[in-house]
């Protein structure tokens, strides 16, 4: 079968068992509960709109979650789409638009010159695939933007191509995203309950 050597190595390692990072399990459990909540509260046809609708409904709490939002959007762009011949995901226009919107609202120095000068913020190869993605005006609330990003992290975790048995730089980045998303969901749960 035409699998990369990296994928074959991952499959061989998983055959012998792997301990999933605790944060991945915690995030999955929280997402299942959140999924139930937004499906009971929102009736938009598309799931993405139900998630963002909950964000719009919770906008009154925005000032109480800006620290967690700042942590999330201070990391490099969150991928969404595959790039041919590339192992990284680039953001789609909605993910990038939500990120740029929140960075502006939180006074995080926007733009890629900042990324180029601070490798802890963005890797050069990630910047190269993020830069061409167009940004559109974000016309929803800050909370909708934040939950749209958490939703993308959920999509990447459930449907993505993460490395569980053979951690790498991307795995470490993913763990930061997941840990911050857990904090965000915990806060949202307090508001919903």
What is the pTM (predicted TM-score) of this model?
A: 0.89
Domain ranges of the chain: 48-192
Q: For the chain, how big is the Rg over CA atoms in Å?
A: 17
User: What integer is the mean pLDDT of 82-90?
Assistant: 81
Q: How confident is the model at residue 74 (pLDDT cuts 50, 70, 90)?
A: confident
Say how far apart CA 140 and CA 145 lie, in whole Å: 7
Cα(141)–Cα(57) distance, integer angstroms: 9
Spell out the residues 6+ positions from residue 57 whose beta carbon is closer than 8 angstroms to its own: 41
148-163 pLDDT, tens digit per residue, is 999 999 998 887 766 6
118: CB partners within 8 A, 6+ apart: none
Which range has the worst mean pLDDT, 11-15, 30-34, 144-148? 11-15
- Give the per-residue pLDDT at 112: 45
b/e string for 8-26 if b means 16 or more Cβ within 10 A?
eebeeeeeeeeeebebbeb
Tell me: the pLDDT tens digits for 96-148? 999 999 999 998 865 544 454 555 567 778 878 888 899 999 999 999 999 99
């Amino acid at each position: 079968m035409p699998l990369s050597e990296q994928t074959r190595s991952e499959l061989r390692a998983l055959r012998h068992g792997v301990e999933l990072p605790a944060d991945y399990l915690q995030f999955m459990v929280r997402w299942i509960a959140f999924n139930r909540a937004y499906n009971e509260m929102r009736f938009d046809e598309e799931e993405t709109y139900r998630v963002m609708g909950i964000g719009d409904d919770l906008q009154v709490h925005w000032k109480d979650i800006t620290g967690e939002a700042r942590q999330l959007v201070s990391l490099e762009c969150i991928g969404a789409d595959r790039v041919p011949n590339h192992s990284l995901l680039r953001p789609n226009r909605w993910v990038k638009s939500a990120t740029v919107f929140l960075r502006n609202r939180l006074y995080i120095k926007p733009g890629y010159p900042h990324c180029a000068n601070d490798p802890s913020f963005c890797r050069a190869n990630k910047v190269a695939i993020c830069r061409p993605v167009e940004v559109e005006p974000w016309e929803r609330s800050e909370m909708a933007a934040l939950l749209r990003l958490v939703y993308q992290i959920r999509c990447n975790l459930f449907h993505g191509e993460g490395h569980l048995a053979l951690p790498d730089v991307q795995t470490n980045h993913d763990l930061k995203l997941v840990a911050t998303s857990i904090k965000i969901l915990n806060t949202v749960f307090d508001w919903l309950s």
